[in-house]
Chain A
Amino acid sequence: MIFAEYLPAALQAGIALAFVAAMLIVPPIVAKKGAPNPAKDSAYECGLPAAQSGRPRFSIKFYLVAILFVLFDIEVVFLYPWAVVYKEMLREGLSILFSMLTFLAILFLGFLYVWKKGALDWK
């Protein structure tokens, strides 16, 4: 089994799951039950009766940033395998340095473009 080292991690995740499940299931059973009350069924708005929907719609000022985040996140993911082999592969020559420099330079160009276009500005 090549994934043997993952079994303890899965075990820990299982224990964590059991712990949070117990915390959700046990208290409602042992805790005091209160009388129903209309105030318990309304959203909290500092004491005033709730007005309008609880999920207001408002303009997204940063949805572009969200998309850019995903794209740059992929760039970061590429850096991990590179970082791990960097020291070893340096012994074979500088190509490992330049391959990542090219990659980062191209993406940095994109970053500068985004910055210049004001996509990161709060408007």
Chain B
Amino acid sequence: MVNHAADIVVHWVQAGMATPWLVWLVITLMKCGAVVGVMMGMVAYTVLAERRFCAFIQDRLGPNRVGPFGLLQPVADGMKLFLKENVLPGHVNKVYYVLAPAITLFPALATIAVIPFGNRLGGEKMVIADLNVGILWVFSLAALGVYGIVLAGWASNSKYPFIGGVRSAAQLISYELAMGLSVIGVFMLAGSLNLGQVVEYQSHCWLVLKQPLGFLIFMVAMFAETNRTPFDLPEGEQELAAGYNTEYGSMKFALFFMGEYANMVVASAVMVTLFFGGWQVPFIPVEQWLGCSWLSGMVYIGCFLAKLAAFLFLFIWVRWTLPRFRYDQLMNLGWKVLLPLGLLNILLTALVLAGQR
């Protein structure tokens, strides 16, 4: 289908119907649309996968009635949430109450723009925006995502959401330093913040092998960033009755829910890109076997998605295995363990590089 669409574009150009500017716009829009589509599909099916896996872990069956193996369950859920009554409670701050769910989902959809999800497809780089500041675009937009939860907690004017929002802000100040420090080693080795170049650097050896400590710290920080167990303090369904989304229903609740899973997809994509070679296929020289064709381009994209799925599975597995941290434990972990370890990782990397000089 992609091939066909590209043919149409080529045809337009040959017929003189399109200026290069229009071609650029169409190609970019196609990439954006494909990425958003695949991402929302992954979100929908990660939710289903989570429900099925947790059911197996707890010796249940999980949702298996809608369609074969319950595969149509996300469609049914989506329809239900879409058509449900939109309650706008009287005690909330209306503007922020409505905007908060959107603020949570928006950064996840926007950050994915800098992630290279494949090598090339018909000469076109498989990344929406090849930014020089790469990872900083991800981090800075992701940092804005916390406003969604904090504002939801405040706007709901209700105790459980309020505590959830406060916890979310408190969580941010605990893990973000460690997150920033843990990836410095990657960029020292790759010599660029551009994610495409980081992937390029890993063509011989995945960075997780050179930066194991950095990866561990980053992974812990990513679990905290996505508010996933063991760091799901803002939600805490046992203590806070779902925390910041207690007062939400219908599609606004669904936006929070999609936001959480979309953030998981982005977190997995960043981990794959920084530490696991991005779209590169290990051990197999794809282009020698298949040539530089559309097929090899698709293989790279497939490889990227497979690695992504592995991390999403890890997120699910951990959630149904580990208990939740207490806030003071999280702060101790972030400041007294991860922060010094992050500095140590930078020091070691710097010394090894200086030694190799």
Contacts and interface: CB of A to CB of B under 8 A. Distances in A.
B335 interface: yes
A80 B187 contact: yes
Contacts of B102: 20-21, 23-24
Contact of B83 (A21, A31, A84): A31
Contacts of B85: 31-34
Contacts of B309: none
A42 B91 contact: yes
Query: Chain B: interface residue count, which band?
Result: 35 or more
Interface of B is mostly: helix
A7 B130 CA distance: 10
Contacts of B272: none
A26 to B, nearest CB: 8
Contacts of A26: 82
Interface in A58-87: 62, 65-66, 69, 72-73, 76-77, 79-80, 83-87
A17 to B, nearest CB: 6
A62 B331 contact: yes
Interface string A8-19: 110111011101
A41 B110 contact: no
Nearest to B329: A122
Contact of B91 (A31, A41, A84, A94): A41
Interface stretch (B27-35, B46-54, B221-229, B286-294): B27-35
B98 A90 contact: no
A101 B349 CA distance: 12
8 contacts: A11-B28, A12-B110, A16-B105, A26-B82, A42-B89, A54-B91, A72-B339, A76-B184
Interface of B: 28-29, 31-33, 35-36, 82-87, 89-91, 98, 101-102, 105-106, 109-110, 112-114, 128-132, 136-137, 154, 156-160, 162, 169-170, 173-174, 176-177, 180-181, 184-185, 187-189, 191-193, 241, 246-247, 250-252, 254-255, 327-328, 331-332, 335-336, 339, 343, 346-347, 350-351, 353-354, 357
- Shortest Cβ-Cβ A-B pairs, 7 listed: A41-B90, A16-B109, A43-B158, A122-B328, A9-B129, A54-B157, A76-B180
Given A5-B131, A20-B105, A55-B162, 5 more contacts: A24-B255, A31-B84, A46-B241, A50-B159, A66-B169
